[in-house]
Structure 1
Amino acid sequence: MEIHVLGGLVVQLSSGTLQLGTPKQRTVLAMLATHPGQLVTVAELVDELWPEEPPRSAVPNVRTYAANLRRNFETVDAAAGVLVRQANGYRLRVERDQVDIHCFETEYRQARALFDEGLLDRAAEVLERAVGRWRGPMLAGVPLGPVLAARTAAAEDERLQATELLADAWVRTGREERAVPVLRELLALHPLRESAHLLLMRALHQRGDRAGAVAAYESARAALRRELGIEPAAELRLLRRAIDHADETSRADVAAPRQRRSTSGNAGAPRAEGARVGGGGWLPRPVTDFVGRDGAIERLLAETARVEASTSVVHVIDGMAGSGKPKPEN
């Protein structure tokens, strides 16, 4: 048996789906399903069903809804004994991994740990499975009281965070084409999420679409101004300037290409920058900026931007040899 709450409320059995009955019966089951194996008291169910003014018949009504659900479960051999009554409430005797919201939460935690360890491909694999469990808004069509409303809001926020983490893993592993449509869909529903705007800009710029990255910034700026009356956060502004800087550097390189040393050994040939290799060629000149450290650069720049102008800022970069630290110039 599997219980789905990420979308409409569904109890999936090997023989089909269970009949759940009236809207208030669905609310009772939703409370039990989101607390698998735990006792949910009659008082808690009354507060969820009638948060303002419960009727005098509230307690017997709750017991009727629960009894109807229990009979529905008992019509299926595999589900008999799943819903049990105790002195002051009810318990749904299922394991957490039989309810999809709990599977999602477990997978999201696992993926975050993998991401933090730098195992981006494995993190993306787990996140794809976790995000794929959502078939629509949590408990769609079920009347929600205060507890379930708070639970669905928290779960939706985790869904957005998981989606952004998946997009981040794709961008970091060179799969921008997968990240862009997912981020656009997310922002169509949640246009004020600056973290998603930042990821979309990075993805577009990384795949060479400068115009698209600039348009993504302008879209974020317009939404934030219109809805909140604020400018984009420092990270978005810094990335926007970095895109302009990269474009100016690219134009300068095209206008004045570097000369390279001929392998013929001609003494009059101009000497290229860099270190000599063997008897003829020269390595390219050293890079003038960090490579492949976009996230770290954005964090450093953001921290710098937050410091008062009268204060000097010093960042220390540490790491073992070969880890990617910049080489000091002589």
Structure 2
Amino acid sequence: MRYEILGPLRVTDDGGSHFISARKVQVLLALLLVRSRQIVSIDDAIGEIWGEESPRRATAGVHVYISQIRKFLARPGRPDSPVVTRPPGYLLQLDDDEFDVHLFQALLHSGRGHLKARRATEAVSAFESALALWRGPVLDNLGAGPVIEGFATWLGETRLECVELLVDAQLSLGAHRELVGRLYSLTAEHPLREAFYRQLMLALCRSERQADALRVYQQARTLLREELGLEPCRALRELQRAILVADERLDRAMTAFGPSLFAAA
């Protein structure tokens, strides 16, 4: 059985994918997953489900939802529920390979290791496998309380880190021309994420499009100054200067792992 929250919340097994329709029950199961192997107190559950406007019988409601989750997770041949009572609340027991978030983290860690060891092909494979686990926004934007929302924000940032590392690995394999279109999309989707501008400039320069690379720098600089009152980071400034003087290090930077010569400090 696998719990999956990198998209709509679902549980998959040999019988297929299973969903919970009741939102409050979804929120409680999501909280148990986010806090897997940790005790979720009754008060934490109430706060996540109802916020500051909890009903008088909120505690009884949590008990009912736990009962529904146990029934939802019950499987033939598995007499014990993975949801156990642990004062002052409940605990979800699961193995690493039963939660898609743990699988994503393991693949991301593996990709980082390959990248550090200069194994580009293996790094690309690990990062692509990690990103393939995502089916949409975390919990399909369930809209719960601060614990789940904070976890979803962290996961979204971690996913973008995985995308950046994947692009760095692909750049090191010489896939510059193939990446230009995707990187234009990424800079449009994440206009304040300077790493994508750096990667786009490298891809354009390597594709013999130095003028376009410098135009990207000016666009990034204008946006950062207007939105935040900031100049581009040192990595972007150094890359712009290198393009202007046709620095011979550009070729090495664009074929080395994670273009380290012009990576952010």
Is TM-score (shorter-chain normalized) higher than 0.5?
Answer: yes
C-alpha contact 2:85 2:91 (8 A) present in aligned 1 = yes
Q: CA deviation at 1:18?
A: 2.2
Q: Measure the CA separation in 1 of the matches of 2:151 and 2:165.
A: 21
Alignment-derived partner of residue 298 in structure 1: 262
Shift in alpha-carbon separation, 1:144–1:290, aligned structure 2, 3 A: closer
Alignment-derived partner of residue 213 in structure 2: 213
3-state SS, counterpart of residue 142 of structure 2: coil
Alignment-derived partner of residue 278 in structure 1: none
C-alpha contact 1:110 1:126 (8 A) present in aligned 2 = yes
- Structure 2 unaligned segments of length 5 or more: list them: none
AA matched with 2:230 = I
Shift in alpha-carbon separation, 1:87–1:165, aligned structure 2, 3 A: closer
C-alpha contact 2:84 2:92 (8 A) present in aligned 1 = no
1:310-321 correspondence to structure 2 within 5 Å: none
Report which structure shows greater RCO (CA 8 Å, sep ≥6): 2
Q: CA deviation at 1:151?
A: 0.7
Q: Measure the CA separation in 2 of the matches of 1:191 and 1:108.
A: 24
Alignment-derived partner of residue 238 in structure 1: 238
Q: CA deviation at 1:291?
A: 5.2
Alignment-derived partner of residue 31 in structure 1: 31
- Structure 1 unaligned segments of length 5 or more: list them: 250-287, 304-330
C-alpha contact 1:73 1:80 (8 A) present in aligned 2 = no
Alignment-derived partner of residue 4 in structure 1: 4
Q: Measure the CA separation in 1 of the matches of 2:32 and 2:105.
A: 17
State the TM-score, normalizing by the size of structure 2: 0.88
3-state SS, counterpart of residue 17 of structure 1: strand
3-state SS, counterpart of residue 61 of structure 2: helix
| Cα deviation code 1:15-53 (max 9, x no counterpart) | 232241311110101111223344322222122223324
Alignment-derived partner of residue 61 in structure 1: 61
Shift in alpha-carbon separation, 1:103–1:236, aligned structure 2, 3 A: same
Shift in alpha-carbon separation, 1:134–1:221, aligned structure 2, 3 A: same
C-alpha contact 2:236 2:262 (8 A) present in aligned 1 = no
Overall identity of the aligned pairs, in %: 32
Shift in alpha-carbon separation, 1:232–1:289, aligned structure 2, 3 A: closer
| Cα deviation code 1:245-298 (max 9, x no counterpart) | 22xx9xxxxxxxxxxxxxxxxxxxxxxxxxxxxxxxxxxxxxx76851454543
Q: Measure the CA separation in 2 of the matches of 1:185 and 1:82.
A: 45
Two-structure CA RMSD over aligned residues (Å): 2.4
1:101-180 correspondence to structure 2 within 5 Å: 101-180=101-180
3-state SS, counterpart of residue 147 of structure 2: helix
Question: How many aligned positions are there?
Answer: 260
C-alpha contact 1:170 1:178 (8 A) present in aligned 2 = no
C-alpha contact 1:167 1:182 (8 A) present in aligned 2 = no
C-alpha contact 1:198 1:235 (8 A) present in aligned 2 = yes
3-state SS, counterpart of residue 240 of structure 1: helix
3-state SS, counterpart of residue 11 of structure 1: strand
Alignment-derived partner of residue 76 in structure 2: 77
1:18 maps to 2:39: no
3-state SS, counterpart of residue 139 of structure 2: coil
3-state SS, counterpart of residue 128 of structure 2: helix
C-alpha contact 1:36 1:95 (8 A) present in aligned 2 = no
C-alpha contact 1:164 1:183 (8 A) present in aligned 2 = no
Q: Measure the CA separation in 1 of the matches of 2:244 and 2:77.
A: 63
1:37-48 correspondence to structure 2 within 5 Å: 37-48=37-48
3-state SS, counterpart of residue 245 of structure 2: helix
State the TM-score, normalizing by the size of structure 1: 0.72
Shift in alpha-carbon separation, 1:181–1:104, aligned structure 2, 3 A: farther
AA matched with 1:86 = T
Q: Which has the larger radius of gyration?
A: 1
- Which is further off, 207-216 or 156-165? 207-216
Q: CA deviation at 1:103?
A: 0.7
Q: Measure the CA separation in 2 of the matches of 1:61 and 1:7.
A: 26
- Which is further off, 62-71 or 46-55? 46-55
| Cα deviation code 1:124-161 (max 9, x no counterpart) | 11011111211111111423211111111111111111
AA matched with 2:76 = D
- Which is further off, 113-122 or 58-67? 113-122
AA matched with 1:292 = R
Shift in alpha-carbon separation, 1:104–1:227, aligned structure 2, 3 A: same
1:191-202 correspondence to structure 2 within 5 Å: 191-202=191-202
Q: CA deviation at 1:119?
A: 1.7
Q: Measure the CA separation in 2 of the matches of 1:209 and 1:61.
A: 62
Q: CA deviation at 1:116?
A: 1.5
Shift in alpha-carbon separation, 1:178–1:7, aligned structure 2, 3 A: farther
3-state SS, counterpart of residue 6 of structure 2: coil
Shift in alpha-carbon separation, 1:87–1:115, aligned structure 2, 3 A: closer
AA matched with 2:225 = R
Alignment-derived partner of residue 277 in structure 1: none
Q: Measure the CA separation in 1 of the matches of 2:119 and 2:182.
A: 21
Shift in alpha-carbon separation, 1:226–1:98, aligned structure 2, 3 A: same
